[in-house]
Amino acid sequence: MIVGVHPLKEALRTVNVRLDQVIIRQGSRNRQHEEIRRLAKHACVPVKLVPSEALDRLARSPKHQGVLGYVSQKVYVSFDALLEEVGMAEVSPFLLVLDGVEDPRNMGAIIRTAEGAGVSGVVVPDRRAVGMTSVVARASAGALEHATVARVANLSQSIERLKSNGVWVYGLDPHAAKSYLDLDYRGPIAIVVGGEGRGIRPGLLKQCDDRVAIPMQGTVSSLNVSVAAAVLFYEVVRQRGGSE
């Protein structure tokens, strides 16, 4: 975490530090804060506005000057590099696309399970989603260090590129008519998982080659996103003979 106006400005200007998110005090009209917002926009770092009390808690000190930034715990690869890496693998690609997962513990749990299930690579958006923070790293129990993660500006374009490269894209949607058990996952696939509460955005759902749901037997309508992802991941592993 980087706290304070000048350290944060320097971090945003350098290529040696990758920030996942900038937090600014809500309602601030400080010119330094406005400059930080401009620098963050130029660096494609998402900005979140929070009340002063929340900022005090996040910074663990009132001496934050109204701003802080989260340093990424992960070196991202480019989407092109991810495609090249999975294209050279001896097994069929098994990719994960995350649309708007905002809870760092859910993100860490998903990455932990994905790595355990042999997911080839993870694609995340650079906005409206949690980055690979220290909380995510801890929740992943070390799996983040082994995961290949590409951060992209446009998930829709990335999905189209996956499809043009012969990858079948399946969306995990609690409202889908098909069960996750009904599809064949042995070929090159990408699983799209949506964020907490809202799920996959409608535009991305339309791009999916198919949508699947996990049938619920009790009174609850759906599973936690990390649990639902784990169920589907291990159906892929089962169909592929557990060799992933």
What does pTM read for this prediction? 0.77
Do 129 and 215 have their domain in common? yes
156 and 183 both lie in a single domain: yes
**Domain end call among 22, 50, 71:** 71
Residues 6+ apart with CB under 8 A from 133: 20, 21, 70, 72, 73, 104
Note the pLDDT tens digit of each residue in 185-199: 999 999 999 998 889
Q: Is residue 202 domain-shared with residue 94, that is, in the same domain?
A: yes
Number of domains in the chain: 2
The domain of 49 spans 2-71
Beta-sheet strand order (sheet of 2-3): 2-3, 67-71, 19-25, 47-50
Please indicate, yes or no, whether residues 181 and 197 belong to a single structural domain of this protein: yes
Q: How do residues 125-146 score in pLDDT, each as one tens digit?
A: 988 888 888 788 889 988 988 8
Instruction: Check whether residue 180 and residue 210 sit in a common domain.
Output: yes
- Pair (53, 90) in one structural domain: no
244 lies in a domain?
Answer: no
Of the residues 19, 43, 71, the one at which a domain ends:
71
Residues 64 and 176 in one domain: no
Q: pLDDT digit string (tens) for 66-93?
A: 899 888 778 789 999 999 988 877 789 9
